[in-house]
Structure 1
Amino acid sequence: MSASVISDFIVPKSSGKAFKVNKGQLLRVIECEGKQVASLMFFNAHNFKEQFMAEFSGGLSYFQPPDLGRIGSHYRLGELYSKVPYENLMLRVTDNKIGDHFLGTHCTKKTMEILHAPGNRSCSDNFAEALREYGLQLEDIYSPSVLNAFANITIDQKGDGSIHVKPPRSEQGDYIEFLAEMDVLVAVSACPDDQSPINDHVCKAIKIQILEEP
């Protein structure tokens, strides 16, 4: 039998939302219209100091032998681990058809200044507002450690190592799905960057579903 949806809501364009997902539940991040990045943070729901670490998770995925079936990369992560000294498995990716997901920073006030759009809303603003409900401030966490779902960002491996940002390949209805291996607090930002190609220059909403297996 397929999993049942127990929560279904929209994160409006250029906004953020924080919510909890219990161990054993599935989290599905869905494209409402397509070509929209969802930046994601994850915390242990019972200890906010234990946070998903993108770089650490990418490194662990690199060292996993392919025959384990969990191989990941900077763009297609299989398992999400918390930072040192915790090093716990937080979530496991269970469905990832698109595979364009970038581990790295999110847009900030400084990003918008560089893009000649001072005052433009950023993912930092979205995260700050979403996490305030849980008593968290950006200065209390390692905010750059995010998974940017649907982000079509590549690094030049043969040249100068430059970063290339392209419009997402994801279309309406595409999604990435996670299995929670612990109770987690999730913060999602429907990226408000309309200055670069990262959202194809048009900001859109993101749909969230929480599901349970029968």
Structure 2
Amino acid sequence: MASTPTVPRLPRIRKLPLNPDRALYDRIAATSSASRIPTTSFTIPPRSGLAWHVPAAHILRLSLPDGPQVGDLNLWSAHNPRERFWASRTRQLEASHVSTYNRLWSCLPYLRPLCTIVADSLGPRVGTTEFGGKCHDLLGTRCDPYVNKMLADDEFDFHCHSNLVRAVLPHGLGEMDVHDVLNVFQVTGLNQEGKYFMETCPGVKGDYIEFFAETDLLCALSTCPGGDGEAKKKGRMEDTCRPIKVEVWKLAEEVKEEVLEGWSEPKRPNYRGMHGMTVPQGQNMG
């Protein structure tokens, strides 16, 4: 009697967090205004900062209502501020400049996507400039009064760091909670010597970037006192500074299930080790 041939079992393909479900995020980005229910809308004035909440599965849009302006963005878990955006790891896992489908990751020991970019009107238009710059920067960080004092002996107190500190105080956070940022709408790069450079923000009125909240978030944004980056040419920072608009939407119930099919809130890595604490002198390689 002939034996039944064995059908080879295909290896199980693990869904990796670095390869997000693009169809899911395309569906979210494609939702119409009728399918988005507004929950929050306000404008952050020039050279200022504000903080606000974005619940999980909501859409956050940052936009330029009056033209080019750079914004410095911080993120935390709304329920645990020790879990916050980790700019350097995001730069390693994603890219030095982020756009659609890139995720913003949280710090250890949580290490999960806090949000995913689902739409971006400016980054793809900028592409790579003639100097090698790209948009939505993770190379640099927020301007701060400490560096300013060191370099210029100046007490100017409206840097992005200061704006973010003032923004989070009403939410029970303080200066030590402010961390490295995503510089939205900012074009930067590294020159041939590896030194950081900034270019003028090329945004126009109506440009935007949209994020899908993977978990409940506390967000804070500073409208950078550097404005669009043209201060050195125009002579006055005030002439280059503009507001940024913040909008948050939830998905209408009649479309939510279909649009979010397959989505669930990301989990932290299931690491069960002890960081080598059982061998405090280090691993024995002998």
The code of the aligned residue for 1:74 comes to S
Deviates more, 1:188-197 or 1:47-56: 188-197
Deviates more, 1:96-105 or 1:24-33: 96-105
Deviation at 1:114, TM superposition (A): 6.4
Question: For residue 96 of structure 2, what is the aligned residue in structure 1?
Answer: 74
Question: For residue 135 of structure 1, what is the aligned residue in structure 2?
Answer: 172
Question: For residue 283 of structure 2, what is the aligned residue in structure 1?
Answer: none
Of 207, 210, 223, the residue aligned with 1:174 is 207
Deviation at 1:142, TM superposition (A): 5.4
Q: 1:85-104 to 2 correspondence within 5 Å?
A: 85-99=109-123, 100-103=135-138, 104=140
Deviation at 1:23, TM superposition (A): 0.3
1:85-131 Cα shifts (integer Å, max 9, x gaps): 11011100000121210113100003434674823320111011111
Q: TM-score, normalised by structure 1?
A: 0.86
Give distance in 2, aligned partners of 1:182 and 1:198.
Answer: 37
Change (3 A) 1:10 1:164: same
Q: Which runs of 5+ in 1 are unaligned?
A: 62-72
Contact 2:69 2:228 in 1 (8 A): no
Of 169, 176, 181, the residue aligned with 1:146 is 181
Q: TM-score, normalised by structure 2?
A: 0.65
Deviation at 1:83, TM superposition (A): 0.6
Give distance in 2, aligned partners of 1:170 and 1:115.
Answer: 29
- The structure with the greater share of residues assigned to strand is 1
Give the structure with higher Rg (CA). 2
The code of the aligned residue for 2:241 comes to C
Does the residue aligned with 2:50 lie in a helix, a strand or coil?
strand
Change (3 A) 1:197 1:115: farther
Identity of aligned residues (%): 29
Question: For residue 13 of structure 1, what is the aligned residue in structure 2?
Answer: 46
Deviates more, 1:90-99 or 1:191-200: 191-200
Contact 1:193 1:203 in 2 (8 A): yes
Does the residue aligned with 2:171 lie in a helix, a strand or coil?
coil
Deviates more, 1:189-198 or 1:30-39: 189-198
Question: For residue 259 of structure 2, what is the aligned residue in structure 1?
Answer: none
